[in-house]
Chains A and B, each alone.
Chain A
Amino acid sequence: QKEVEQNSGPLSVPEGAIASLNCTYSDRGSQSFFWYRQYSGKSPELIMFIYSNGDKEDGRFTAQLNKASQYVSLLIRDSQPSDSATYLCAVMDTDKLIFGTGTRLQVFP
């Protein structure tokens, strides 16, 4: 079974700063990676997915994939208090997603 590791946090950053969230995965053959955001008491919602090495940008969010080192990162620029949530990293395993435990992000004014 593929595994995904995340630091549970909390990661605290001031408003306007860059938040950097990291995730490592166990299977070198993994090819598809997803970042979900989950507010307290709510269900996960997809932020981004990335398939190939390098960076993928979408608005304030950038996903970075390094297959050689087996890690995936999510950068959130100009962090806002509304970004405070748990960020889940997931790896595709055949036709299902394997999730990490999530990193709790706190953005303080």
Chain B
Amino acid sequence: DTGVSQNPRHKITKRGQNVTFRCDPISEHNRLYWYRQTLGQGPEFLTYFQNEAQLEKSRLLSDRFSAERPKGSFSTLEIQRTEQGDSAMYLCASSLRGLGDSPLHFGNGTRLTVT
């Protein structure tokens, strides 16, 4: 169990640029989640996958955001035409099964700063 891995740890970009983040879940975990957290707030749900299927997307996720999980392993989160309001910590988490009997494990996050 090497934990949930996220890359990069930090990303600074200019407004209007596209960015992509990667998440590698714990091996054999079939659930993968993306959350966003800003200072002083709790994590906000963005989307989640069961294997390669994206099962739910939050209304927070505008059409500038897209997430994929090809082959049910790693996942990417892309933000197009970034805005300053996108500045946040993007957290990835995984669980072995449903949350009813399998805890959610978070990665260390990718901190995005949009200038």
* Residues of chain A at the chain B interface (Cβ within 8 Å): 4, 6, 8, 32, 34, 42-46, 49, 88, 90, 92, 94-102
Besides A92-B99, A92-B100, A99-B42, 13 more A-B contacts (Cβ < 8 Å) are: A4-B42, A32-B100, A34-B104, A43-B91, A49-B103, A95-B48, A95-B50, A95-B99, A96-B48, A96-B99, A97-B99, A99-B44, A102-B41
Task: Say how far B97's CB is from chain A's closest CB, in angstroms.
Answer: 10
A-B interface contact total, Cβ < 8 Å:
53
B98 close to A (CB within 8 Å): yes
Q: Are A43 and B98 in contact (CB under 8 A)?
A: no
The distance in angstroms between the C-alpha atoms of A53 and B2, with both chains bound, is: 34
Q: Does B28 contact A (CB under 8 A)?
A: no
Could you list 22 examples of A-B contacts with CB < 8 Å?
A4-B42, A8-B40, A43-B107, A43-B109, A44-B106, A46-B103, A46-B104, A46-B105, A49-B103, A90-B42, A94-B56, A95-B31, A95-B48, A95-B50, A95-B55, A96-B45, A96-B99, A97-B43, A97-B45, A97-B104, A101-B40, A101-B42
B109: chain A residues at CB < 8 Å are 43
Q: Count residues on chain B whose CB falls below 8 Å from chain A CBs.
A: 23
Most chain A CB within a 10 A radius of its CB, from B40, B43, B55 = B43
The 5 lowest CB-CB distance pairs between A and B, nearest first, are A99-B42, A43-B106, A46-B103, A99-B43, A96-B45
